[in-house]
Structure 1
């Protein structure tokens, strides 16, 4: 009977580590943090000879006295750092004994099912302010900054709507960039603005895959030779989608 209970605890500990790693990868964490968190949870749960194979598309974990390894696939990735912080905080509380293993698994599931993100209006306003600010920083164009604010906010709202409606990778960036270029050219043709390039530069900034590029560099430096190039390729394809959309509009309109 004790052996059954012990095995159940081992499986639960393995599932806790697996779920924590899945949440971290899905929400924009680099692989070094993922592995560190998973191994710490396993160690504090009493797992010995714990092993984890982590990539950006799936995780496989195993430990002693378990007949089979546990695996999970990762089908979507976003940049929700609030969930990354929540998982890390739960891992620390478990390490200090504030949470039991059962509580840790329940709270990780709560994090998985919660949204933990700003409202649609707040995200669009943040994108608009970012577009305006970086437009001034990069181009020194203050006169047309109001257009960067509007185009950046509207295009990001459209980007979020596309992601929610279709969930097709790279289509959101491509179509939103088309909208950015069209709105920028239209404002210039109507005589409202004078610098199309400055508006486009500012408005595309919220779509640029900065987190993916940063994580790719960190993964490569850390020796993750599968996840690093995979993240870099994802960032490059996203950048190509943005660039092609801008070029199409500027070339034909």
Structure 2
């Protein structure tokens, strides 16, 4: 009985680690729960239960001793490559290709890996996408450059303000304010023709598209708590962006 308990605890740790990586990397709630239960089932524990919210995971295996675990998710980001790697490991487990020890080591490597793109590349991508959005929103080609400049500066401010003050709402508000000021300056100096197109294009890298998508998918899957909480998070981000732009427009 003692050995079985230790085995259950080990499998619980594997499931929790997989769920933690996926949830912290932007995966949907139902996908996290499904992956954890599939891993437990692959190792011979068919009756497992998982309850996932955007800020925590609870996981238990029926009949096991002291295996109900709670894991707190403090920070969340978007890293779909880690989600893909965990999915690959989960599929290998279900095919019987990985022992518990091998699976846990692979998951630890994924968890510790820094797979994010360099900051300079993120800034360049945000700037170029802002310029491209200006054209996509039927702006004129003279609006491409000011949108590119405003989008790049706004994303830089978001990254570094968030490092100084780890409150996402404040960082988004400041980034939107700087985007509004930069866009207005470019418009006044004759670099752009349509101020509204420049501003809308420049704030697009800040828009929480993945959060909105996951909120809708969780609601459709019946995860009401997660869906509503992610929807509230997306609303706060949209409000911060709108408030920052409105603050600049109210000045000028």
> Would you say same fold, with TM above 0.5?
yes
- Give the counterpart of 1:30 among 5, 28, 31: 28
SS of structure 2 residue aligned to 1:59: strand
* Aligned equivalent of 1:58: 56
Find the aligned partners of 1:233 and 1:201 in 2 and give their Cα distance.
22
Q: 1:18 aligns with which of 16, 41, 57?
A: 16
Instruction: Give 1:128 shift.
Output: 1.3
State the aligned residue count. Answer: 251
Matches within 5 A, 1:159-170: 159-170=158-169
SS of alignment partner, residue 224 of structure 2: coil
- The 8 Å contact of residues 134 and 143 in structure 2, kept in 1 or not, is answered as no
Give the 5 Å matches for 1:59-208: 59-63=57-61, 64-208=63-207
- Secondary structure at 1:226's aligned position in 2? helix
Shift of 1:140: 2.9
Give 1:227 deviation, angstroms: 0.2
CA displacement at 1:164 relative to structure 2: 2.6
- Quote the Cα distance in structure 2 between the aligned partners of 1:111 and 1:198: 40
Whether the aligned pair in 1 keeps the contact of 2:145 and 2:191 (CA below 8 Å) is no
Q: Distance in 1 between matches of 2:128 and 2:237?
A: 22
Name 1:39's counterpart in structure 2.
37
1:68 Cα deviation from its structure 2 partner: 4.5
Distance in 2 between residues matched to 1:40 and 1:153, nearest whole Å: 42
| Moved >3 Å (runs of 4+) | none
Partner deviation per Cα, 1:170-203 (whole Å, 9 max, x = no partner)? 1121110011000011112223222211111111
* Unaligned 5+ runs, structure 1: none
After TM superposition, the score normalised by the length of structure 1 is 0.95
Aligned to 1:213: 212
SS in 2 for 1:144: helix
